[in-house]
Structure formats: C-alpha cells, structure tokens
Copies of this chain bind each other. A is one copy, B any other.
Amino acid sequence: MTRTAQIVSVAREVLETDGLEAVTMRRLADELGIKAPSLYKHVKSRDEILAALQTQAVAELGELLNSDDSADRTGMTGVAARYRAWALEHPALYNLMMRQPLDRERLPSGLEAEAESPVLALAGGDRARARALWAVAHGLVDLELAGRFPPDADIDAAWDAAIDAFERGTRHDSR
C-alpha cells in the first residue's frame, strides 16, 4: 500500500467517523504519525484527497446498484432501496460524492457509465427519464440527510409515491 493510498484510506475513516470538517491535514498526518507538511510530498492538496474519495464512492455505489441480489426486491423498488440504504450508511461520503463536479479526467473510463447503467435500464434506455429518476432518488436522500423533512414526515411513503409515478408507462421523451 503506497503512502498516498494510506492517506486516502485514513481520510475515508475520518470522514465516515467524524464528518468532513474533521478531515484536516493535521488530523490525517496525526493518524499516520507524521506532521501535516509531510503530506504534501504524497498528495497535491486536501482537494485531491477528497476527489479520490469521490471516485471511490462512485465506484462502490455503482457496483452496489449493479448487484442483482435476486433475494432482494427487484426492479425499481430494489434499486431504490439499495441506493437509499447506501446513502444512509455513508452520509458524509454520499454528500462528498454529490457536492462537487466529477473529475472526469481522473475517473477510470467507463466508471460513470457503469454506475448509471442500472438506472438507464429502469428508464427503458431513455436518458432524460433516467436523469429524472436519478434526481428523485438524490433529492429524497439529500433532503433526508439534511434533515429538511418535517420530523413527522413519512419518508417511506414519499419513496413509494416517487416509484409509483415513474413506474407506469415507459413512453419516451415528450418534447
């Protein structure tokens, strides 16, 4: 394991344990038993570390969505459940993944397409519809993570309503 990989790995632990604001150059150095300035021999900046974590997250969530646990609920309901569950288990990582543009240069080619493919399939190959579908899922998760729903809101019911709206008819783009 290269030193750079160790840094990213420690960053992930800290991110998941104590949140983004705890991911500090001094804290990462501390965990590794070195001093903050030493990190810069292995990594260009804090942002570079965060970009690496973003890539990891896209890969992981993509893999999960592609996994077809046939035991699990299938189709839209299953994909939605896996998406939401992953986000709730890794809230800080999910936020990081969504709150900055993808660094498409660095991203392993094809990764983004692979991560999206299950959603595209659910949309019957319609890219616009797939993006709308992604947006509801993201919107529901983001509002839940941000604590923006009223305390008594039935979030499960909101997911059901969303799935309900998208499940009927796969007619294509109406523009």
Indicate if A1 sits at the interface (CB-CB under 8 A): no
A161 neighbours in B (Cβ, 8 Å): 126, 128-129, 131-132, 173-174
A112 to B132, CA, bound (A): 25
Question: Can you list, as one digit per residue, whether each of A124-164 has a CB less than 8 Å from chain B (1) or not (0)?
Answer: 00111101101111111011001111100111111111101
Chain copies in the assembled complex: 2
Whether A101 is near chain B, meaning CB under 8 Å from some CB there, is yes
A60 to chain B, nearest CB (A): 17
Once bound together, how far apart are the Cα atoms of A98 and B138, in whole Å?
13
With a cutoff of 8 Å between Cβ atoms, the chain B residues found around residue A139 in the complex are: 134-140, 142
* A157: B residues at CB distance < 8 A: 127-128, 131, 173, 175
A residues in contact (CB < 8 Å) with B: 98-102, 104, 112, 126-129, 131-132, 134-140, 142-143, 146-150, 153-162, 164-166, 168-169, 171, 173-175
